[in-house]
Amino acid sequence: MSTDMPEPPWRTPRKEVTRRSLSRETIVDAALGVLRADGIDGVSMRRVASELGTGPASLYAHIAHKDELLELLFDEVAGEIPLPEPDPARWREQVTQLWMDSRAAMQRYRDIARVALGSVPLGPNSIRIAEVTMVLLRMGGVPDQAVAWAVDVVGLYVSASAVEGAVVEDRKAGEGQDPAHYYRQVATYFASLPPDRFPTFVGLLPLLTQGDADERFRFGLDLLVGGLAALAD
C-alpha cells in the first residue's frame, strides 16, 4: 500500500510498527480475505481481529472503525487496476479499457464497489486512476468541465455495474437462484404485456432481452466515451 501521498486528515495516523505488532497493512490483508469470503456485510473489526488472532481493541489503534477499513480495502483493490501509458492516438481505446479493468477488479472482491457509491474514493490508488482518466480525456480534446464531471459520472456507472453483478452472484450462491432462469421469467412477463397498451415495449422485446452483462456494460461505456468524444474540440 503506497505511503508517498498525504492522507485525508480524518484518517487514523499510522503507528510505528515493531516486528510483532499489527500494522495497517496486515489488518487490510486479513480484511481482504474476509471480504472475498463474505462480502462487505461480513467485514467487521471483530471478525478481522479474529482472523489475526487478536482482539478488536488492538485494531483501533491503526484503523478507527469499519468505514475507514472499507475505504482502505477499496483502495487496495484499486491498486490491482492496470494503468496505461497514455497515448493520444489511442485515448478512446485506453480509457474504455481502464474502465473495463476497473469493473473487473471490483468484481473480484464481491460487493466492494458499494464503498464508492455515496462517497469519494480518496486513496492514492483511486486518485491515480482518476488522474490517468483525466489525462486521457484531455488528450482527446474533451473540455475540462466535461473531464472533471466525467470522472464522477463514469465512476458511478462502473461501480453500479459491479454492485449489480455482486448482487446477482450473491443471490445465486445464497438462494440457489439461477440468473438465466430469472431473466427468462422477466422476458416471459414482458411478453404477456398487452401490445395495444405497450406496442413499442412488446415490439422491442426480442432486443430488450439480448446480450449478457459484459456486452451491456461495454455498450454503456461506448455511449459514454462516444458522448465525451463528441464534446472534443
pTM, rounded to two decimals: 0.86
- The pLDDT-based confidence of 17 (bands split at 50, 70, 90) is low
* Angle formed at CA 56 by CA 50 and CA 57, multiple of 5 degrees: 145
Exposed, middle or buried, 225 (CB in 10 Å: 0-12/13-18/19+)?
buried
pLDDT value, residue 228: 96
Say what the pLDDT of residue 75 is. 96
CATH 1.10.10.60 fits 24-76, yes or no: yes
| 13, pLDDT greater than 80 | no
Write phi, then psi, for 139 (nearest 5 degrees).
Answer: -60, -30
Give 172's contacts (C-beta < 8 A, 6+ positions apart).
178, 179
The owner of cell 480534446 is 141
Q: What are the start and end residues of each CATH 1.10.10.60 domain in the chain?
A: 24-76
C-alpha distances (whole Å) from 34 to each of 45, 77, 159, 176 are 11, 14, 20, 22
Listed in order, the ranges of the chain carrying CATH 1.10.357.10 are 88-230
Q: Is the pLDDT of residue 7 over 90?
A: no
Mean pLDDT of 13-36: 81
For residue 152 the three cell numbers come to 464522477
Residue 37 has pLDDT above 60, yes or no: yes
Q: For residue range 62-72, list pLDDT tens digits in order.
A: 999 999 999 99
Which triple of cell numbers denotes residue 162? 459491479
- pLDDT at residue 19 greater than cutoff 50: no
Q: What is the pLDDT of residue 175?
A: 67
Between the alpha carbon of residue 180 and those of residues 111, 116, 170, 174, the distances in Å are 20, 28, 14, 16
Which CATH architecture does the domain made up of 88-230 adopt? Orthogonal Bundle (1.10)
Provide, rounded to the nearest whole percent, the portion of the chain with pLDDT above 90.
71
Coil, strand or helix at 58: helix
Per-residue confidence (pLDDT) for residue 170, from 0 to 100: 77
- Distance from C-alpha of 6 to C-alpha of 117, rounded to nearest angstrom: 23
Distance CA 132, CA 84 (A): 8
Q: pLDDT confidence of 45, banded at 50, 70, 90?
A: very high
pLDDT, tens digit, for every residue of 185-196? 888 898 899 999
Cell of 142: 474533451
On the question of pLDDT at 184 being above 50, the answer is yes
Residue 83 burial (10 A CB sphere; 0-12, 13-18, 19+): middle
CA angle (76, 11, 101) in 5-degree steps: 20
- State how far the alpha carbon of 92 is from the alpha carbons of 89, 98, 99, 129, 226, in Å: 8, 10, 11, 15, 8
| pLDDT(202) > 80 | yes
The model's pLDDT over 84-134, given as tens digits with 9 standing for 90+, comes to: 999 999 999 999 999 999 999 999 999 999 999 988 899 999 999 999 999
